[in-house]
């Protein structure tokens, strides 16, 4: 396999979705952590529900709906001022610490993003983080009118970049995305954010631990990744090995 392009998921892969925690805690006190985890879990669920229903809502609308769900589930009123502050943070999520270094090291390859994010959200995100010039394209699933792991979303890459799918290395931290991209025909690198998730000693665990147990493990349904990496800075070696 010769890798001619690396295509990255955005949320949870390049950008830390947990970086909303600070704002959530500022606005909602001790319930901020619970809201952070419920929000992300429900956001993912709504993309799958939206894809199956053929919804016309984009990721921004689903993100707002999932935030309101999380707030109300935690017993916090979905006040418009709270929602706007948290939604604004989604346009300026923190890059993972090693992301810029890794992207710079991969500059010899064609780089792109393929994300469930709306085009408006993604454009704001890459601009705010200063990495916009590094990407040949920032591809929103808006173009497919669905959400990952619908194969139509992964099919957006070839016409956008002019590169065959067997020459693409897709990078994601999300197990469902790994399975979907691999089933489509990409080579896939799964980044294990936070490292292996140990089983808890008892059921007495908090929202962060529940989130990690659900989202930090490889899926049992669907194909697995070709490569497992600990950090984005492992990718240059993966590319080298693929030549």
Close Cβ partners of 11 (under 8 Å, ≥ 6 residues apart): 17, 93, 115, 116, 117, 174
Question: What are 103's two structure tokens?
Answer: 């992207």
CA torsion, points 73, 219, 217, 47, in degrees to nearest 10? -30
The answer on 234 and 144 residing in a single domain is yes
The answer on 131 and 72 residing in a single domain is no
Q: What does the pLDDT read at residue 108?
A: 85
* Whether the Cβ atoms of residue 171 and residue 8 lie closer than 8 Å to each other: yes
Q: In the chain, how many domains are there?
A: 2
Q: Which residues are known catalytic residues?
A: 9
What residue numbers bound the domain in which 127 lies? 5-16+92-241
Q: What does the pLDDT read at residue 241?
A: 84
Q: Does 196 have pLDDT greater than 80?
A: no
Work out the pLDDT band at 242, boundaries 50, 70, 90: confident
Mean pLDDT for the stretch of residues 195-218? 89
Average pLDDT, the chain: 96
Other C-beta atoms within 10 Å of 167: how many? 17
Question: What are 243's two structure tokens?
Answer: 């030549």
Last residue of a domain, one of 89, 106, 134: 89
Please report, for the domain that includes residue 229, its CATH number. Answer: 3.40.50.1000
Q: What does the pLDDT read at residue 2?
A: 87
Other C-beta atoms within 10 Å of 184: how many? 21
The answer on 158 and 45 residing in a single domain is no
- pLDDT, tens digit, for every residue of 216-235? 889 999 999 999 999 999 99
Q: What does the pLDDT read at residue 99?
A: 97
- pLDDT, tens digit, for every residue of 138-195? 999 999 999 999 999 999 999 999 999 999 999 999 999 999 999 999 999 999 987 7
Question: What are 237's two structure tokens?
Answer: 């070696």
Mean pLDDT for the stretch of residues 45-73? 97
Q: Does 43 have pLDDT greater than 90?
A: yes
Give the separation between CA 160 and CA 138, rounded to whole angstroms.
Answer: 9
Please report, for the domain that includes residue 53, its CATH number. Answer: 1.10.150.240
Q: Does 1 have pLDDT greater than 70?
A: no
Mean pLDDT for the stretch of residues 54-71? 97
Last residue of a domain, one of 65, 89, 113: 89
Give the separation between CA 33 and CA 37, rounded to whole angstroms.
Answer: 6
β-strand pairing of 94-95 with 227-229: unpaired
Mean pLDDT for the stretch of residues 55-82? 97
Mean pLDDT for the stretch of residues 33-43? 98
Partners of 169 in beta bridges: 6, 187
Last residue of a domain, one of 89, 111, 143: 89
Listed in sequence order, the DSSP H helices in the chain are 21-28, 32-53, 59-73, 80-89, 99-105, 119-129, 151-154, 157-161, 175-184, 207-215, 235-241
Q: Does 130 have pLDDT greater than 70?
A: yes
The answer on 79 and 130 residing in a single domain is no
The answer on 12 and 25 residing in a single domain is no
Question: What are 67's two structure tokens?
Answer: 């935030």
Other C-beta atoms within 10 Å of 80: how many? 8
β-strand pairing of 94-95 with 110-115: unpaired
The answer on 184 and 221 residing in a single domain is yes
Please report which helix (H) or strand (E) contains residue 15, including its range.
strand 15-16
């Amino acid at each position: 396999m010769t890798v001619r392009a690396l295509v990255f998921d955005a949320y949870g892969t390049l950008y830390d979705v947990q970086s909303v925690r600070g704002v959530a805690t500022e606005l909602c006190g001790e319930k901020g952590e619970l809201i952070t985890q419920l929000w992300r879990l429900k956001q993912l669920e709504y993309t799958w529900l939206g894809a199956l229903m053929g919804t016309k809502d984009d990721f921004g609308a689903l993100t707002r709906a999932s935030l309101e769900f999380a707030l109300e589930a935690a017993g916090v009123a979905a006040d418009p001022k709270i929602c706007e502050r948290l939604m604004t943070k989604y346009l300026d999520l923190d890059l993972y610490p090693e992301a810029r270094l890794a992207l710079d090291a991969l500059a010899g390859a064609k780089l792109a993003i393929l994300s469930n994010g709306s085009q408006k959200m993604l454009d704001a995100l890459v601009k705010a983080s200063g990495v916009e010039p590094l990407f040949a394209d920032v591809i929103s699933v808006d173009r497919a009118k669905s959400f990952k792991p619908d194969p139509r979303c992964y099919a957006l890459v070839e016409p956008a970049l002019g590169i065959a799918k067997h020459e693409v290395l897709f990078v994601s931290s999300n197990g469902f995305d790994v399975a979907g991209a691999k089933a489509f025909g990409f080579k896939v690198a799964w980044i294990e954010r936070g490292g292996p998730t140990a089983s808890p000693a008892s059921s007495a665990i908090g929202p962060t631990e529940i989130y990690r147990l659900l989202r930090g493990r490889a899926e049992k349904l669907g194909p697995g990744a070709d490569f497992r990496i600990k950090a984005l800075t492992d990718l240059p070696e993966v590319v080298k090995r693929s030549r």
